[in-house]
Amino acid sequence: MDMTYTDRRRQTRSSVYHYLYDAEGFCTRQSLAQSLGLSLPTIYQNLNELVESGLVRYNGEAQSTGGRRAAGVEIVPDARIAIGVSVSGHHLRFSAADLRLHETAYRSVSYTAYGAEMGKMAADLASELESFIDGEGIDRSRLLGVCVAVPGVLTVDRRKVMFAPTLDMRDTDVTPIYEAIPYPSYVENDATSSGHAEWFVRGARGNLAYLSLEGGVGGSALIGGSPYHGSNGRSCEFGHMCIVPGGLPCSCGKRGCLEAYCSPDRVSKDLGVSLDEFFEELPKHNLEYSLAWSDVLQHLAIGVSNIRMMFDCDVVLGGSLSQYMPTYLPLLKRYVSANDPFSDNADYISLSVLGGHAVPLGAALHFISAFLDEV
């Protein structure tokens, strides 16, 4: 079907905005016209509309070549704000982010998960959300929406948590969350959110697999930047791939899962210490700690090797455990290489660049991406 005049105008305006969004250097009206193959009057008209809407601004001047200096043009990153919320068994973490996914505010709140008591959890979440917005002075008129990330398998319509062992949820309706939040809202899997954020901030253009090493172990796959959810919304539950048949019991009720061997609990709860305490003691050649950590790394290498074989792409390790791993990444790569028939260096493995904020920032990205797709 032929595009209408309005559709063409919208498409042109979108092209101008996205060129400015992706630009790495100084942009002027003249460089926009040349790069996009548009006339200067068309550029002027579209920039005026974007400036009036608050999405674009003039900033600085190009060096003079003898005539009048050309004005620089750039997007306004904080023209819109999105909020992501990470729900775990012990904390609610809130991140506000601008259109470039730069974090503008963050807060962590201790709380106790309520399991199937979704109504109470939703009410407390909504109350803490309003406190966060007020406390950080976030302009509600610029708020795109609030995305809540949970460590569990969701139905395709994002209306029910099918299984979230760390939250003690099974077949739990999340409608109360949508009802309690008075802004556009969405519920997403936490590993899907954090994987998407990692892909976005790296400026990636290809594929990426993300392995989350939190209280539970999860993951996601970004195919050309789009999260792959699978036919039933259960894709990339890497933590529940069996790596040791009949092995250690897992929170899912089965045995031998990657999560049972590589979650932070293996080096904290099992030894009765915090992660900080464990990794402070580990370099002191404590035999018990060294054996425990070696066991984690060797089983983690099996999981990473399997993911690489399945997706043949870069693998990013995130979550709380990954923050302690820079020193041990070369050793992990050697273990992975020993299992990989196609590579002898495993340089496709890297650590999260967003650290502990990946989940809430990834949740915020849901609404940022939607806005960028529509602008």
What is the predicted pLDDT for the residue at 265?
A: 86
* Residue 222 confidence (pLDDT) above 70: yes
Higher-confidence residue: 280 or 214? 280
- Residue ranges covered by each domain of the chain: 5-75, 79-195+358-374, 203-352
List, for residues 171-194, the tens digit of each pLDDT value.
899 999 999 999 999 999 999 999
Distance between CA atoms of residues 303 and 110, nearest Å:
31
- Token readout for 77 is 């990153």
- Token readout for 205 is 């253009």
Q: Does the reported pTM lie above 0.85?
A: yes
The fold for domain 79-195+358-374 equals Nucleotidyltransferase; domain 5 (3.30.420)
Q: Do domains 79-195+358-374 and 203-352 have the same CATH topology?
A: yes
What is the predicted pLDDT for the residue at 368?
A: 97
* Residue 332 confidence (pLDDT) above 90: yes
What is the predicted pLDDT for the residue at 268?
A: 85
Parallel, antiparallel or unpaired: strands 349-351 and 314-318: parallel
Residue 313 pLDDT class (50, 70, 90 cuts): very high
What is the predicted pLDDT for the residue at 1?
A: 47
Higher-confidence residue: 215 or 314? 314
Distance between CA atoms of residues 372 and 199, nearest Å:
16
What is the predicted pLDDT for the residue at 2?
A: 58
Which residue type sits at 271? L
Residue 68 pLDDT class (50, 70, 90 cuts): low
Show the CA angle centred on residue 97, arms to residues 133 and 87, nearest 5°: 70
Say how many Å lie between the first and final Cα of the chain, rounded.
Answer: 21
Q: What is the mean pLDDT of residues 199-207?
A: 84
Which residue type sits at 375? V
Residue 67 pLDDT class (50, 70, 90 cuts): low
* Residue 63 confidence (pLDDT) above 70: no
Residue 8 pLDDT class (50, 70, 90 cuts): confident
Query: Are residues 105 and 82 in contact, defined by beta-carbon separation less than 8 angstroms?
Result: no
Q: What is the mean pLDDT of residues 271-299?
A: 94
CATH number of 5-75: 1.10.10.10
Distance between CA atoms of residues 133 and 162, nearest Å:
30
Distance between CA atoms of residues 208 and 223, nearest Å:
7
What is the predicted pLDDT for the residue at 62?
A: 55
Q: Of 366, 8, 2, 51, nearest to 187 (Cα)?
A: 366
Higher-confidence residue: 215 or 373? 373
What is the predicted pLDDT for the residue at 204?
A: 64
CATH class of the 203-352 domain in this structure: alpha beta
* Residue 116 confidence (pLDDT) above 70: no
Residue 238 pLDDT class (50, 70, 90 cuts): very high
* Residue 84 confidence (pLDDT) above 90: yes
Whole-number mean pLDDT of the chain? 91
What is the predicted pLDDT for the residue at 164?
A: 86
Higher-confidence residue: 148 or 110? 148
Parallel, antiparallel or unpaired: strands 160-164 and 226-227: unpaired
What is the predicted pLDDT for the residue at 355?
A: 85
What is the predicted pLDDT for the residue at 215?
A: 77
